[in-house]
Amino acid sequence: MGLFDLDFFDEFKRMNKRQVYYQILTILMVVGSALMLWKGLIVFTYSESPLVVVLSGSMEPAFFRGDVLYLTNYPDEPIRTGDIAVFRIEGRDIPIVHRVIKVHERLV
């Protein structure tokens, strides 16, 4: 039973215009709600990508492949040893996930 089964199209043909309108409106509301939730997470966490999936096993045993990380980026919190840092390298689409081993303080 997939989305493109013949039964699905037969059911769609039997609907009147009002039912089709309500189905389309419901789908648009679900998609719109998901987008608003995503944008709300971006604003709330101060992060351009509040959810990241771990793609490699380099963070085991703390995080395994496929784990979803919830990110925050509060500017007033300093980075400390033991924190998990997620960053992007220019020209690469995949974010890098690492644990902070040592913090080097820059004296100005």
Q: Where are the domains of the chain?
A: 1-45, 47-108
With a CB cutoff of 8 Å and minimum separation 6, the contacts of 15 are 23
Instruction: Tokens for 22, please give them.
Output: 């309500």
Residue-level pLDDT at 28: 96
- pLDDT at site 27: 94
Read off φ and ψ for residue 72, nearest 5 degrees.
-130, 160
Under 8 Å between Cβ of 62 and 37 = no
Query: Over its length of 108 residues, how does the chain's per-residue pLDDT go in tens digits?
Result: 555 666 766 777 778 888 888 888 999 999 999 999 989 888 888 877 788 888 888 778 888 888 888 888 877 888 888 888 888 888 888 788 888 888 887 776
